[in-house]
Amino acid sequence: MAATTNFLVRWTYAADVPGRGMVVWTLLAVASGGFLLLGAATLVHGGRNWCLRTGNPDLG
Q: How many CB atoms lie within 10 A of CB 28?
A: 13
Widest CA span in the chain? 58
Q: Tens digits of per-residue pLDDT, 1-48?
A: 999 999 999 999 999 999 999 999 999 999 999 999 999 999 988 877
DSSP letters, 11-55, are HHHHTT-TTHHHHHHHHHHHHHHHHHHHHHHHHHHHHHHHHHHHT
Using 50, 70 and 90 to split pLDDT, how confident is the model at 58? Answer: low
**Could you tell me if 30 and 9 are in contact, meaning their C-beta atoms sit under 8 angstroms apart?**
no
Residue 59 pLDDT class (50, 70, 90 cuts): low
Quick one: which of 34, 23, 26, 43 has its CA closest to 1? 34
